[in-house]
Amino acid sequence: MLPRPPRLLLLVNPFGGRGLAWQWCKSHVLPMIAEAGLSFNLIQTERQNHARELVQGLSLSEWDAIITLSGDGLLYEVLNGLLARPDWKEAVKKPVGILPCGSGNALAGAVNQHGGFASVIGLDLLLNCSLLLCRGGSRPLDLLSVTLASGSRCFSFLSVAWGFVSDVDIQTERFRALGSARFTLGTVLGLATLHTYRGRLSYLPATGEPASPKPGSTHNLPRAKSELTLTPEPAPPATHSPLHRSVSDLPLPLPVLASPGSPEPLPVLSLNSGCPELAGDWGGAEDAPLSPDPLLPSPPCSPRAVLSPITKNPPEMPAPPGHLPPCPDGPEIAPSGGPPDHLLPPLDAPLPTGWVTMEEDFVLMLAILPSHLGADLVAVPHARFDDGLVHLCWVRGGISRANLLRIFLAMDRGSHFGLGCPQLGYAAVRAFRLEPLTPRGVLTVDGEMVEYGPVQAQVHPGLGTLLTGPPGLLGPEP
Ligand code: ADP
Ligand code: MG
C-alpha cells in the first residue's frame, strides 16, 4: 500500500545542441532523478516530429509529467502534440518540464532565474534545472496561439521572431555543435550584414486587469517533501534497480539505439526505484500501484534494454496521421486543436478598434512570452510565465551597428531598455499581427522556421503547466 513514486516520461533528442544530451542524461540527470525517488521511462527521439507523434498517442494518465532533454524545439513539439489531441483541454494541463541540452535553451534560462540561481549556461544550467525539477513545483504557463499565412495554427511558449533574431537563429543552425555560443557568433555575423525589413506591426495593448491567473498562484503540484542538496562529488551511476527486459506497455516504437559518436548502444531505460518518502507529492495522475516488474533476465547480447511495465493498460497503437484515437483518460472529447482565438479576426480581415498599427522599416520584431531569449539572454526581465502578456519588442531601422551590439550585450543582464536607444520599442500586448512587406525573410516560432508571410497571434493565459521547481528566495517572484 506504499504510495507510488511520481512517473516521468523523459524524451531525449540525441542530436540537440552539441549532441551531449544522452551523455549528460546518463551521467547527471538520471542519478539525480533516481536519488529524488522519481520513476521514469526514457525515450530517445529518432527524428524531427517524433516527440510530437509520441505525445499525441500517449495514455496521459500514466504519467505525472513529460520532460524534454534537448533545446526549446523538443518542448515545442510536445506542447503542439498535446494541443493536437482530441482531449487537448486536459492534455495541455499535463505538467511539462525542460532540461536544457540544446543550443537554444531560453525557457530553461527563465526557469533557472525563477529558481533563484545566477545566470549560467551549459552543464551548470542543466544541473540547476534538474535540481529544480526534483524539488517539484509548477506554475501555469502562458501559450501563444500563432496563425500563419496558410491558415495553419501552432502554439508557442517562447517567441515569434522576424528580422535579426530569426535570421541569426536560422543561419546558425549548422553551428549547433557550438552550443549557445552559436548565437554569439551569429550576432557578430549578423551585424556585419545587417538588413532592414519593411512591415506593418499591429497590436492589441494589454490594459486593465491582466487576463492571467494572479501572480503568486503557484500551482499546487509536485513539491518534494525532502530538500535535495547537490553533493560536490559526481553523482553515482544509476544502478539502483535492475533493468528487466519486458514488453513495453508504451504505445511507442522503441528508439534507434545508436548515438552519434557513441559506440555503445543506447538503451531505453526505465527505473522504478522510487523511495516512498516522495510519493504523493506529484499526485497529478491516478494512484494506481505500479505493476510488478516481470523479473525476466535480459538476454546477454540484447542491444535493447527495457521498459518495465508500469500500468496494466493494453498498449495503444500510434494513430495514423489525422486519425487520433479517442483518449479514454480525457473527461470530454472536444474538437482537437486548442482553444479558439477570440481576440483575432481572420488574418485577411481588418483589425477591430483598439488596436495600434505602425508601418516601419524594422531591424527586428520579437514577440516573447517568458523573460529569456536564450539561456543567458534576458529579453524582458519583468516577464513571468503566467503574466498573460505577449512582450512585443522591436528595433527600427536607422540604428547603428554599435548600438544594436550594445542592446544584445546588455541583454546579458536584461538592462537594454535602460540604454535609452530611440529605435528600441516595447509594448505589453494580448495579441498582435505582423504583415511583412519585404517579400523575402525568415519567420521563426520558438526558434523553428515557419512559412514566411503575414502572421498573427494571441496569448492564452495559463493554458499549460510548467515544472519550475519552487521559486527561489533571490528570484524575481517571492
Ligand atoms: P537545439 O536547441 O539544439 O536546436 P532543439 O530541441 O531545438 O535543440 O531541437 C532541434 C531540432 O531537432 C528540432 O526541430 C527538433 O524537432 C528536432 N529533433 C528532435 N529529435 C530529433 C532527432 N532524433 N533527430 C533529428 N532531429 C530531431
Ligand atoms: Mg532549437
pLDDT band at 3 (very low <50, low <70, confident <90, very high): confident
Ligand 1 atom, smallest distance to 70 CA: 6
Using most ligand atoms within 8 A of CB, pick from 48, 101, 266, 376 the residue to mutate for ligand 1: 48
- Cα–Cα dist 364/436, whole Å: 11
Q: Return the C-alpha cell found at 135.
A: 524539488
Q: What is the per-residue pLDDT for 185?
A: 81
Residue numbers annotated as active site: 72
Q: Are the CB atoms for 90 and 330 separated by under 8 Å?
A: yes
Q: What is the per-residue pLDDT for 322?
A: 33
* Least-confidence region, from 107-116, 119-128, 321-330, 351-360: 321-330
Residue 352 to residues 202, 204, 455, Cα–Cα distance (Å) = 11, 9, 16
Q: Give the residue among 109, 97, 132 at the shortest CA–CA distance from 381.
A: 109
Using most ligand atoms within 8 A of CB, pick from 12, 15, 174 the residue to mutate for ligand 1: 15
Cα of 452 vs centre of ligand 2, distance in Å, is 18
Q: Which ligand is nearest to the CA of 76?
A: 1
Q: Where are the beta strands (DSSP E) in 251-299?
A: 270-271
Q: What is the per-residue pLDDT for 473?
A: 57
pLDDT band at 225 (very low <50, low <70, confident <90, very high): very low
Cα of 388 vs centre of ligand 1, distance in Å, is 28
* Least-confidence region, from 16-20, 146-150, 391-395: 16-20
Give the amino acid at 45.
Answer: T
pLDDT band at 193 (very low <50, low <70, confident <90, very high): confident
Give per-residue pLDDT as tens, 246-278. Answer: 223 233 333 333 333 333 434 444 444 333 333
Give per-residue pLDDT as tens, 5-31. Answer: 899 999 999 998 888 999 999 999 999
Q: Is the pLDDT of residue 303 over 90?
A: no
Question: Roughly how many angstroms between the first and final C-alpha of the chain, as a whole number?
Answer: 37
Q: Which ligand is nearest to the CA of 180?
A: 1
Residue 478 to residues 79, 215, 470, 474, Cα–Cα distance (Å) = 28, 10, 10, 8
Strand partners, 366: 161, 393
- Cα–Cα dist 237/279, whole Å: 22
- Cα–Cα dist 444/183, whole Å: 15
Q: What is the per-residue pLDDT for 390?
A: 98
Q: Return the C-alpha cell found at 165.
A: 533574431
Q: Is the pLDDT of residue 53 over 60?
A: yes
Q: Give the residue among 468, 470, 467 at the shortest CA–CA distance from 8.
A: 467
Reduced to 3 states, what is the DSSP secondary structure of residue 443? strand
Half-sphere exposure of 221 (CA within 13 A, CB side): 26
Ligand 1 atom, smallest distance to 446 CA: 7
Q: What is the per-residue pLDDT for 208?
A: 63
Q: What is the per-residue pLDDT for 157?
A: 98
Question: Which of 211 and 386 is assigned the larger pLDDT?
Answer: 386
Q: Which ligand is nearest to the CA of 77?
A: 1
Give per-residue pLDDT as tens, 89-104. Answer: 999 999 999 999 998 9
Q: Return the C-alpha cell found at 184.
A: 554569439
Cα of 80 vs centre of ligand 1, distance in Å, is 14
CA dihedral 357, 461, 477, 473 (to 10 degrees): -140
Q: What are phi and psi of 372, to 5 degrees?
A: -105, 140
Share above pLDDT 70 across residues of the chain, in percent, rounded to a whole number: 71
Q: Return the C-alpha cell found at 420.
A: 535609452
Q: What is the per-residue pLDDT for 111?
A: 98
Atom 24, ligand 1: residue with shortest CA distance: 47
Q: Which ligand is nearest to the CA of 173?
A: 1
Q: What is the per-residue pLDDT for 188?
A: 81
Give per-residue pLDDT as tens, 62-88. Answer: 999 999 999 999 999 999 999 999 999
Atom 12, ligand 1: residue with shortest CA distance: 48
Average pLDDT over residues 214-234: 34
Q: Is the pLDDT of residue 132 over 80?
A: yes
Ligand 1 atom, smallest distance to 45 CA: 23
Atom 16, ligand 1: residue with shortest CA distance: 48
Atom 8, ligand 1: residue with shortest CA distance: 71
Q: Give the residue among 275, 67, 76 at the shortest CA–CA distance from 169.
A: 76
pLDDT band at 183 (very low <50, low <70, confident <90, very high): confident
User: Hey, how many other C-beta atoms are within 10 angstroms of the C-beta on 324?
Assistant: 16
Q: Give the residue among 145, 149, 146, 144 at the shortest CA–CA distance from 435.
A: 149
Q: What is the per-residue pLDDT for 137?
A: 95
Atom 21, ligand 1: residue with shortest CA distance: 47
Q: Are the CB atoms for 59 and 32 separated by under 8 Å?
A: no
Pocket of ligand 1 (CB under 6 A): 13-17, 45-48, 50, 70-74, 77, 102-104, 176, 447-448
Ligand 1 atom, smallest distance to 104 CA: 2
- Cα–Cα dist 19/349, whole Å: 45
Q: Can you give the pTM of this predicted structure?
A: 0.78
The mean pLDDT of the chain is: 78
Give per-residue pLDDT as tens, 236-253. Answer: 333 333 222 222 323 333
Ligand 1 atom, smallest distance to 14 CA: 23
- Cα–Cα dist 407/390, whole Å: 20
Give per-residue pLDDT as tens, 395-453. Answer: 999 999 999 999 999 999 999 999 999 999 999 999 999 999 999 999 999 999 999 99
Cα of 152 vs centre of ligand 1, distance in Å, is 21
Q: Give the residue among 43, 64, 447, 417 at the shortest CA–CA distance from 252.
A: 43
pLDDT band at 474 (very low <50, low <70, confident <90, very high): low
